[in-house]
Amino acid sequence: MKMKTVLLGMTFLTFTGFSCADTDADSVSTVPNANNQAMETNTDGAKADNSRQNQNLDLTADQQPSNEKDSQMTSQIRNAIMKDKNLSTYAHNVKIITVDGNVTLKGPVRTAAERTKVFNSARLIAGSTKVRNEMDVTPGVR
């Protein structure tokens, strides 16, 4: 009889979804906000927010405006870089972002010399104070 009672009790607990597992004090749950939209909160009620970590304030190529002057400058810089056949494919593929006449160069190049060549090519076209160098030297595996 005692065994039957224990089994019935365990079955009841299993079917009702009762859990004896300890929950993490820092767990996150989803609750509706005032506009009935799901919002993650910590168990202490504080809203989970990582927007500052997710903000990336760096320029990307899709942020380049489509005005003709910036497009022409980007094209001139790309042509100058592509003419130098001594540069690696990496250097030929550097991202060139031009916004209001200011140029940002991004991406990997194989050597410091390539980085300098690409940077100087852009400076000759855009002006010495209008080019920002964000290229990284990433030596290739040979």
Tens-digit pLDDT profile for residues 94-110: 999 999 999 999 999 99
pLDDT of residue 140: 74
pLDDT of residue 4: 52
22 occurs within a structural domain: no
71 occurs within a structural domain: yes
Whole-number Å distance between alpha carbons of 16 and 13: 5
pLDDT of residue 27: 46
Tens-digit pLDDT profile for residues 65-123: 678 999 999 999 999 999 999 999 999 999 999 999 999 999 999 999 999 999 999 99
Domain that holds residue 115: 61-137
CB 131 within 8 A of CB 122: yes
More confident residue, 64 or 19: 64
pLDDT reading at 132 higher than 90:
yes
Find the CATH number of the domain harbouring 132: 3.30.1340
10 occurs within a structural domain: no
pLDDT reading at 22 higher than 50:
no
Average pLDDT, whole number, for the chain? 74
113 occurs within a structural domain: yes
Q: How many structural domains comprise the chain?
A: 1
More confident residue, 17 or 124: 124
pLDDT reading at 24 higher than 50:
no
85 occurs within a structural domain: yes
Nearest to 28 by CA among 8, 48, 6, 10: 48
17 occurs within a structural domain: no
Tens-digit pLDDT profile for residues 34-45: 555 554 545 555
Angle at 39 between CA 35 and CA 41, to 5 degrees: 135
Whole-number Å distance between alpha carbons of 38 and 48: 12
89 occurs within a structural domain: yes
pLDDT reading at 1 higher than 80:
no
19 occurs within a structural domain: no
